[in-house]
Amino acid sequence: MTADPDTGARPGPDGRPRCHWALATRDEREYHDTEWGHTVRDDQGMFERISLEGFQAGLSWLTVLRKREALREVFAGFDPSTVAAYTPADVERMLTDARLIRSRAKIEAVISNARAALDLPGGLAGFVWSYAPDRAPVPRTPAEVPATTPESTAMAAALKRRGFRFVGPTTAYAAMQATGMVDDHLADCFLRRPSSP
């Protein structure tokens, strides 16, 4: 996702101003408009977002979006209880499925993370939300949107201590953005929440 770092939101096909990264394709625009930054407070929804952000490592977000339905299918809608029971045979089956991101390390991480999520007292969503910042600056340009924050660094470290994989500070911050823990819609994006700090 690249853009001129000195510009704010730009108009999409319908004339409404959007964040720079959402303008290249219909898939990205739809995700931006209907999901990104919306509050996710349930464990299954949080597990999906963390898993998808882990799959993105080294890839474009568009690649993940276009494989999302297949990933949902093979990971049982990202239900942690179901995924935690997957076996090495399930991993081998997924590695032969051309619809997926066929990274053994990432697939095995999702299964391992499901098991770790089930061990969290209070659930995954509650654990993750405990790292939400009280306030965050309002970004006016893409350059003002951070890749990591002290909160995402702390959250990543805490998840790793509990057995999670593919959850570095950048991945953790992307999950925070995706689940509404922070509002990183640009100041002039039509989806910027008026009540955001």
Per annotation, catalytic residue among 21, 28, 48, 53: 53
Per annotation, catalytic residue among 21, 28, 36, 61: 61
32 labelled ligand-binding: yes
20 labelled ligand-binding: no
Backbone angles phi, psi at 91, to 5 degrees: -60, -45
Range list of H helices, the chain = 26-34, 43-56, 61-74, 80-84, 88-95, 104-118, 124-129, 150-161, 169-178
Residue type, position 128, single letter: V
Residues 6+ apart with CB under 8 A from 60: 1
Per annotation, catalytic residue among 21, 28, 31, 86: 31
Q: Is 61 a catalytic residue?
A: yes
Q: Is 30 a catalytic residue?
A: no
| Helix (H) / strand (E) containing 18 | strand 17-18
For the chain, helix (H) and strand (E) counts, in that order, are 9, 2
Residue type, position 115, single letter: R
44 labelled ligand-binding: no
Name the token pair of 99: 């619809």
User: Which positions make up the binding site for Zn(2+)?
Assistant: 19, 32, 185, 189
Binding-site members are 19, 32, 185, 189
**Active-site amino acid positions:** 31, 53, 61
